[in-house]
Structure formats: structure tokens, C-alpha cells
């Protein structure tokens, strides 16, 4: 079994059958209205996913949080794949997937489901949640425990069930345990009644709790190591909060100081059969950067203006050109066709810089026309609008 980390809780698994499994895709859309992917998934990883015939790809969605389910990407690029989801008391996740792919996903329980050369099972930690699940994925030789957000200490009954799956593939050497290790909400950062010192203290306590639960779980599962993910998202922190380190950076500092047998997964890294991470290629471009650059090129060609720029940070704007800038959340909403560039020029979600005393009314009208043509094409083609296969 080869496991490639795409980003966040998304991995691409390749077994011996010639078929693939993709978990929790979240690549280009914002989540919860404000989260963006950081580190970003790489363009080459997405090209690989899009090159796989959809009949050879099974998609696992562990639960219905936006950072595990990119509706734009799924509806445009994964509709013909097999989808599997855990069985929950509430049918909301099944209904949501059905709306995106026009067919019901297969539902997982503790009983193994054979599909495409893999066996899938799902397990719920009854002491933690009833709307999230651990998914085990086995190719008969190796086992991936896709625990996603289930980091809490597992009860004895759950340990016993997962241990059976580990034994089935020969134990620790052939088992890969992937689990969240990071603060996944806005508490305490966005709580204005807390001082910076109190906020930092709570963050440290939460990260220590992750470490304690992680240690107990891998000891009880008789594993000697594990990989962490599902901690690669960020949002715009409130202006009243001064943080020396982001929660993700705090996790990395914690890992450096601890002796826990944990390895952080990063986009593009591959775990091979001896649990060693292959080094990803240097200077790879992210999916977001590629799409934004392609969008800019199309806008320049349409407006016939080479001094047009699209930026995330106004400090990067060119003094001799016309620069549209907004934050990454808004750019992502534009890139998936949810908004147009008028969200900047009219909606006030960004700003425009231009040379002093220059008149850009013609450009403004041309950009408006381009915006709606682009939005229509994006809604039709998805990421195909950006010619991902081109160099």
C-alpha cells in the first residue's frame, strides 16, 4: 500500500488491485465561510487524481464538515466515482453526497465492505461523537486507519475492534494510523473576553491533550508510530488577537520538544511500504497559485492589458499596473465561480490600486464582462477551466 498525502485529511491510497482510494477531498473551496487550505495541495497531486479513471477510484468521506468535503471539486470531477460514507443516525451526509453525484453513496458499518480490491469498515467512538467515524481501509496486505478528526482517547471496545483489523494484516508493520493533531476551531482565539496570555495557555493545554490521547491510543493499539494530518487549515485571525505562533506552528513546536512517535504529513509526501516518507519535489506550484495565475492570464488576454495583476496581498501590487487584491477566501470563491471580480470592484471585498491620475473605466467595463463569462465557464467546466493539464 502506498499513501500519498494530498492535503489536510485527504490521502490517495494505491493498493495492489490497480484501483485507488481517495479520502476527504478538500482542495479549492473555502470551508465554514473562512477556512482555507494551508499548506496548499500541489498541482501535480491534483493532476494525478484527475488522471485516474473514475471507475477505478473510490472516495471516502468520513463526515460532513466542509474541510472534508469540497462540493465544487466533487460535483465537477468525482461524480462517476464510487462513494462510501459511514452510517450515522442522521442521513444528512448521505443526502448531501447524493445531491452532488446524483446517486446514493454506499454506507459503511463495522462489517467489512468489499469494493475495488479493498475492504472498508467504519467505527464510531460512542464516547466522543455520533457524526464522525474512523474508517479502516485494507488491501489485504496493509491497513490504513483513517481516523481523521477522531483524536480523543478510544474506549476499550473501540480499541478491540481496531486491533482486530491490525491483526488481520499482520500487525504493526503493515498498519498506518493517520489522525488529526491540531486545534480545529476558533476557540480560544476568537473569544475576545480572553487575554492573549489566557488564549495561549488554553492552546497549549489543548495541544497537550492531543498528545496525551495520541500516546494512549497508539500504545493500546500496539503501534509504534503514527502520522498526523487534518491540521492544515487557517483563517484570518481577529485584529484584537496577537499570536506569536499559529496553532499549527504551536503543534510543530510541541512535536519538536516531545519524544512522541509522530510524523507530520505534508502535501505531496508519500508513505511507502516501510513507513518512510518520500521527500516531495522542491519548487512545486500549489493548485491555488496555478488557478489564480491561469485566471489572470485569461483576464489579460480578454482585456488586452498586460499590466493587470491579481494579488492576495496589496503589498505585492505593482506600482505601474492595475492590481485587484483580496484575501484568499474571496479569491477561492471567485475561482470556483461562487462570486465574480465584481465582489472586489463593487462588493467591497477587496481593493484596486492603479497609477495616480490614470483612468481605468474601460478596463473596469471589460473586467466586468470577463467576470461573468468566466463564472459561467467555471460552473460548467470546474477546474477544467484552468487547463490543469497544461504546463
pLDDT of residue 4: 96
* CATH class of the domain comprising 287-386: alpha beta
* Per-residue pLDDT at 129: 85
Q: Which residues, at least 6 apart from 275, have a Cβ–Cβ distance to it below 8 Å?
A: 176, 225
| Residue pLDDT tens, the chain, 391 long | 999 999 999 999 998 889 999 999 999 999 999 999 999 999 999 999 999 999 999 999 999 999 999 999 999 999 999 999 999 999 999 999 999 999 999 999 999 999 999 999 999 998 888 899 999 999 999 999 999 999 999 999 999 999 999 999 999 999 999 999 999 999 999 999 999 999 999 999 999 999 999 999 999 999 998 999 999 999 999 999 999 899 999 999 999 999 899 999 999 999 986 666 676 666 789 999 999 999 999 999 999 999 999 999 877 787 789 999 999 999 999 999 999 999 999 999 999 999 988 999 999 999 999 999 999 999 999 999 999 876 6
Compute CA 237 distance to the chain's CA centroid, rounded to the nearest angstrom: 19
Residue range(s) in the chain whose domain bears CATH number 3.60.15.10: 2-278
Looking at residue 333, its pLDDT comes to: 98
What are the residues facing 229 on neighbouring strands?
180
> Hey, which bits of the chain come out as E strands?
2-7, 10-14, 20-23, 36-37, 57-60, 82-86, 106-108, 113-115, 118-123, 134-138, 143-146, 175-180, 226-229, 233-234, 262-264, 270-271, 277-278, 308-311, 322-326, 350-353
Nearest-CA neighbor of 352 among 362, 341, 339?
A: 341
**Packing angle, helices 361-381 and 287-303, rounded to 10:** 130
Provide the pLDDT for residue 223: 95
Q: Could you count the other beta carbons within 10 Å of the beta carbon of residue 107?
A: 16
Check the CA dihedral 264-268-269-270 and report its sign. Answer: positive
CATH code that applies to domain 2-278: 3.60.15.10
Inter-residue contact 28 to 332 (CB < 8 Å): yes
C-alpha distances (whole Å) from 209 to each of 82, 151, 243, 250 are 36, 9, 20, 13
pLDDT score for 43:
96
SS3 for 186?
coil
Beta-strand pair 262-264/226-229: parallel
pLDDT of residue 276: 66
Distance of CA 73 to the CA centre of its chain: 11
For residues 205 and 171, give the distance between their C-alpha atoms in angstroms, rounded to a whole number. 33
- Max CA-CA distance within the chain? 73
Identify whether the C-beta of residue 377 lies closer than 8 Å to the C-beta of residue 384.
no
The predicted structure's pLDDT at residue 94: 98
The one-character DSSP state at 354 is -
Query: 162-182 b/e with 16+ CB inside 10 Å = b?
Result: bbebbebbeeeebbbbbbbbb
Displacement of CA 79 from its chain's centroid (Å): 18
| Beta strand 82-86 pairing with 106-108 | parallel
Predicted local confidence at residue 319, as pLDDT = 76
Could you tell me where the beta strands, DSSP code E, fall in 305-386?
Answer: 308-311, 322-326, 350-353
Q: Which helix (H) or strand (E) holds 166?
A: helix 156-168
d(CA 331, CA 120): 37
Query: CA 168, CA 7: separation in Å to the nearest integer?
Result: 28
Whether residue 211 contacts residue 260, with contact meaning beta carbons closer than 8 Å, is answered with: yes
Tell me if 169 sits within 8 A of 142, measured CB to CB: yes
For the full predicted model, state whether its pTM sits above 0.85: yes
Amino acid at each position: 500500500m502506498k499513501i500519498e498525502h494530498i492535503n489536510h485529511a485527504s490521502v490517495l491510497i494505491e493498493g495492489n488491485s490497480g484501483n485507488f482510494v481517495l479520502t476527504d477531498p478538500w482542495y479549492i473551496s473555502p470551508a465554514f465561510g473562512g477556512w482555507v487550505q494551508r499548506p496548499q495541495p500541489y498541482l501535480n497531486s491534483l493532476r494525478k487524481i484527475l488522471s485516474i479513471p473514475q471507475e477505478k477510484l473510490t472516495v471516502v468521506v468520513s463526515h460532513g464538515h466542509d474541510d472534508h468535503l469540497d462540493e465544487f471539486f466533487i460535483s465537477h470531477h468525482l461524480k462517476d466515482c464510487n462513494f462510501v460514507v459511514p452510517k450515522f443516525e442522521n442521513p444528512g451526509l448521505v443526502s448531501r453526497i447524493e445531491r452532488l453525484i446524483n446517486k446514493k453513496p454506499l454506507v459503511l458499518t463495522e462489517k467489512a465492505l468489499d469494493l475495488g480490491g479493498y475492504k472498508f469498515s467504519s467505527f464510531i467512538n460512542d464516547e466522543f461523537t455520533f457524526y464522525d467515524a474512523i474508517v479502516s481501509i485494507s488491501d489485504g496486505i496493509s491497513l490504513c486507519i483513517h481516523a481523521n478528526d477522531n483524536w480523543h482517547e478510544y474506549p476499550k471496545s473501540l480499541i478491540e475492534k481496531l486491533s482486530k483489523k491490525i491483526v488481520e494484516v499482520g500487525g504493526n508493520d503493515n498498519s498506518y494510523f493517520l489522525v488529526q493533531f491540531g486545534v480545529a476551531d476558533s476557540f480560544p482565539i476568537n473569544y475576545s473576553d480572553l487575554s492573549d496570555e489566557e488564549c495561549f495557555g488554553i492552546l497549549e493545554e489543548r495541544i497537550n491533550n492531543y498528545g496525551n490521547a495520541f500516546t494512549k491510543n497508539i500504545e493500546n493499539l500496539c503501534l509504534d508510530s503514527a502520522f498526523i494530518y487534518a491540521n492544515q487549515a487557517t483563517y484570518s485571525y481577529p485584529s484584537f488577537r496577537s499570536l506569536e505562533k499559529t496553532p499549527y506552528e504551536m503543534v510543530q513546536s510541541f512535536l519538536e520538544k516531545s519524544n512522541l512517535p509522530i510524523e507530520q504529513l505534508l502535501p505531496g509526501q508519500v508513505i511507502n511500504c516501510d513507513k518512510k516518507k518520500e521527500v516531495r519535489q522542491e519548487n512545486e506550484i500549489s493548485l491555488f497559485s496555478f488557478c489564480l495565475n491561469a485566471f489572470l492570464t485569461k483576464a489579460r488576454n480578454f482585456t488586452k492589458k498586460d499590466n493587470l495583476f491579481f494579488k492576495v496581498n496589496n503589498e505585492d501590487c505593482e506600482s505601474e499596473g492595475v492590481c485587484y487584491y483580496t484575501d484568499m477566501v474571496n479569491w477561492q470563491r471567485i475561482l470556483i465561480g461562487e462570486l465574480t471580480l465584481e465582489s472586489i470592484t463593487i462588493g467591497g471585498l477587496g481593493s484596486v490600486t492603479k497609477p495616480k491620475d490614470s483612468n481605468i473605466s474601460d478596463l473596469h467595463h471589460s473586467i466586468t464582462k470577463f467576470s461573468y463569462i468566466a463564472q459561467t465557464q467555471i460552473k460548467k467546466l470546474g477546474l477544467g477551466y484552468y487547463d490543469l493539464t497544461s504546463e
